[in-house]
Amino acid sequence: MDNLEKEIRDTKVRLCLDCGKCTVVCPVAQYNPDFNPRLIIQKSLGNGGNRTADESIWSCFNCLMCIERCNYNVKFPDFVTALRTEAVGSGVHVQCSHGGSLQAAMHMMARPDIQQKRIDWLPEDIILTEQSDTRFFVGCAPYFDVIFKDLGVHTLDGVIGALRLLNLSGIPFNLLANERCCGRDLLNQGDKEGFLSLAGANMEEFNRHGVKRLITYCPECYDCLKNEYTRALGANGIEVVNLIELLAPLLKDKKLALGKLDKKVTYHDPCTLGRGFRLFEEPRQLLTAISGIKLVEMENNREKSLCCGANPWAYCNTVNRQVQGQRLEQAKTADAEMLVTACPKCQIHLKCAQKSEDCSVTDVEIKDLAELAAASLNRR
């Protein structure tokens, strides 16, 4: 209870003015009229309210759109995470998607004695610097590509593209053979114990190898390692940067040159990278640095970007599909041949939507940004 009271203070939910701006822009509320952030706050703060009985807390995408519009910076997504943590702690069973395979993999990685074969996929042309104190954090791409093989998902191609771009830029790095999942999804679904186990295992690995800097590509890994680890475990002295932040100034100073690809593309802003870290222009700069690329914008872009219908691999339902369908329709309306994103989960969710029987937008190719940029190098 004390922890929840701290979250109530930290998330500023008592400042909610009941204005309804959050509900107007919420993608979930657009398709589910029963979902209302301000009413969830009211019910949760009400006297005698049973917070764990409110099933609507599992519908939030954590897309940050509500914070974007809130005049008082009420952090509703963080409050929802606190409510989920309380619910899980009281014994509420989480309805996992995909048979719970992602959660099983995460908990398996949290075991202190596990030894993974995490870099068997590494191409021979990638140059690693053995003595470097910088590590590239791969994330769950090796697991994603196995679990979502039926969707034609190749998130490791994005990771390999990122590594090739780092090599081209002359930025030294190494990999961790026994890296774990960052734990972001377990944290978001209320499994704080599981998150702390993964975070602790990763920190032990970082310290054992003398890591001073982490380069991430996945936006959720970026946020988790940069913010959540510090919040949960305290300052650790490790600098966490995102690949796109590293490459953007190199492009500007003409220290990095990409190749050529003739494509009409649109860019999908991942919620965490965009609204979370305000990285809107840098990914577009990377895209337009590819000769022959014509960038067109979807109706909702940058800070108004529509979520991919994400969730922490739990409670996926019709509303998720409707939001994903809307996003794909926006790409088609923009007359794009390809939808490019810088988030593996966005890629997975949108490709999953394309596989559904009722999806009408199957001719827009979905591609990872780093993968696309690296592919252009073959056509200079």
Q: State whether 64 and 172 are in the same domain.
A: no
Q: State whether 360 and 263 are in the same domain.
A: yes
Q: Region 12-19: what's the mean pLDDT? A: 87
pLDDT digits (tens, 9 = 90+) for 115-149: 888 899 999 999 999 999 999 999 999 999 999 99
Domain limit, last residue, from 53, 69, 89: 89
- In degrees rounded to 5, what are phi and psi of residue 173? -165, 165
Q: State whether 164 and 190 are in the same domain.
A: yes
pLDDT digits (tens, 9 = 90+) for 26-70: 999 999 989 999 989 888 887 555 666 678 899 999 999 999 999
Q: State whether 142 and 272 are in the same domain.
A: no
| Residue 368: domain span | 254-379
Q: State whether 78 and 170 are in the same domain.
A: no
DSSP assignment of 41-107: HHHHHSTT--GGG-GGGGS-----HHHHH-TT---HHHHHHHHHHHHHHTTPPP-BSGGGHHHHHHH
Per-residue model confidence (pLDDT) at position 113: 87
Q: State whether 124 and 62 are in the same domain.
A: no
Q: State whether 277 and 359 are in the same domain.
A: yes
DSSP class of residue 298 equals -
For residues 55 and 74, the model is more confident at 74
Tokens 């794009």 correspond to what residue?
A: 336
Helix (H, G, I), strand (E, B) or coil at 355: helix
Count how many domains the chain has: 3
Q: State whether 173 and 206 are in the same domain.
A: yes
Q: State whether 39 and 119 are in the same domain.
A: no
Q: Measured between alpha carbons, how far is 70 from 327 in angstroms, rounded to an integer?
A: 23
Q: State whether 225 and 320 are in the same domain.
A: no
Domain limit, last residue, from 247, 279, 296: 247
Q: State whether 241 and 308 are in the same domain.
A: no
DSSP class of residue 276 equals I
Mean pLDDT (the chain, rounded): 93
Q: Tell me, what amino acid is at 190?
A: G
Q: State whether 365 and 260 are in the same domain.
A: yes
Q: Judging by beta carbons within 10 Å of its beta carbon (0-12, 13-18, 19+), is residue 300 exposed, middle or buried?
A: middle
Per-residue model confidence (pLDDT) at position 49: 54
pTM of full prediction above 0.85: yes
